[in-house]
């Protein structure tokens, strides 16, 4: 009886060893091509950094403010109007209508994963989310309030907000300010992380991407897209000229407005047609594309970017594979934010 028992123990020990050293075992089973691909990917990309805690008083206040339509000239618009979280933080419009129906001139980018960006807005004029949060509410075309004092006046009418601000800013003599309003929204947006299959891949789960997606990732790197789209967001950390190799960009995108990007803020000739390189997280869900939403198709956007920025003409099958890779960047919308 002793030999069968020992055999069972040995088998269980082997099974346990496989589970406890799963990542090592999986690495040993990878093909040479897969090993090179994941090593290359880790050179240019990283998983999303830890998001903010959504249960804090500050984040809970920010969530309420994000959804509140009171902070608009018509009483019908909130941050969520143009950046609906249930729809990956975008309205899928080329440009969004404001409080009186007038449309802005730039596409409303997603708020999901925006906490990993180095600057905010297409022209990079805001250094962080708190500064950005002040913009739309006071923009005459967007939410249409006049001053930060208007925001505070609305807040003071609510006993609930007064209590929530006290909890969120317990050490402040005057917690109810426009700066704190923006800080709270920024805190909530800092919770909007959407980890995806690509994060699992970077953590060693090679099977998280199918063969076409892995080929697309390889093409994405080899083509040179990583010149601008790197880091945890695969973009969002660089300002770059649109039409770097071939331009002007509007001849390829069909843009009606010849927006000169950062130049409109800085006045520096070197900033003409310079825009923030967007994050590619959830890119398959956030069209239409570019700063003016001028291109509907993700495949067409890939083709244009390869040509304008890198001077390369991709084959249709290459574009399809890169688009397939982009599907692996689609994450799950955080339930706490809905």
Catalytic residues: 142
CA distance 196 to 198: 5
Q: Which of 307, 210, 331 is nearest to 253 (CA)?
A: 307
Contact 204, 24 (CB under 8 A): no
H-helix or E-strand containing 181? helix 178-189
SS3 at position 173: coil
Contact 193, 51 (CB under 8 A): yes
Q: Answer whether the bond into residue 248 is a cis peptide, omega within 30°.
A: yes
Contact 114, 120 (CB under 8 A): yes
Strand partners, 196: 331
CA distance 288 to 110: 12
Q: Which residues have CB under 8 Å from 204's CB, separation 6+? A: 23, 26, 27, 38
- Dump the DSSP string for 50-101: PPPPTTSHHHHHHHHHHH-TTSSTTS---HHHHS-GGGTT----SS-B-TTS
* CA 86 to chain CA centroid, nearest Å: 14
How buried is 238 (Cβ within 10 angstroms: 0-12 exposed, 13-18 middle, 19+ buried)? middle
Q: Which of 138, 145, 132, 139 is nearest to 182 (CA)?
A: 132
């Amino acid at each position: 009886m002793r030999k069968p028992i020992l055999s069972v123990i040995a088998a269980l020990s082997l099974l346990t060893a496989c589970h406890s050293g799963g990542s090592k075992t999986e690495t040993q089973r990878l093909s040479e091509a897969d090993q090179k691909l994941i090593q290359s990917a880790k050179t240019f990309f990283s998983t999303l950094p830890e998001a903010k805690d959504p249960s804090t008083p500050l984040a809970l206040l920010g969530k309420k403010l994000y959804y509140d339509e009171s902070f608009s000239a018509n009483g019908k618009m909130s941050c969520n109007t143009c950046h609906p979280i249930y729809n990956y933080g975008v309205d899928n419009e080329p440009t969004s209508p404001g409080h009186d129906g007038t449309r802005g001139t730039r596409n409303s980018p997603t708020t999901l994963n925006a906490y990993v960006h180095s600057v905010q807005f297409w022209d990079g004029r805001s250094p962080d989310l708190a500064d950005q949060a002040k913009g739309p509410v006071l923009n005459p075309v967007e939410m249409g309030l006049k001053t930060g004092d208007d925001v505070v006046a609305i807040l003071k009418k609510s006993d609930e907000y007064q209590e929530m601000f006290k909890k969120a800013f317990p050490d402040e003599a005057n917690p109810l300010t426009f700066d704190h309003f923006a800080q709270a929204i920024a805190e909530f947006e800092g919770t909007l992380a959407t980890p995806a299959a690509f994060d699992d891949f970077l953590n060693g789960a090679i099977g998280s991407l199918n063969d076409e997606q892995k080929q697309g990732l390889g093409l994405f790197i080899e083509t040179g897209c990583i010149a601008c789209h790197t880091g945890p967001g695969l973009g969002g950390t660089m300002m770059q000229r649109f039409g770097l190799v071939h331009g002007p960009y509007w001849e390829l995108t069909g843009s009606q407005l010849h927006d000169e990007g950062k130049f409109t803020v800085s006045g520096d000739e070197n900033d003409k047609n310079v825009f923030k390189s967007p994050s590619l997280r959830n890119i398959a869900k956030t069209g239409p594309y570019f700063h003016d939403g001028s291109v509907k198709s993700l495949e067409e956007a890939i083709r244009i970017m390869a040509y304008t920025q890198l001077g390369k003409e991709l084959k249709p099958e290459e574009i399809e594979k890169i688009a397939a890779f982009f599907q692996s960047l689609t994450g799950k919308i955080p339930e706490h934010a809905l």
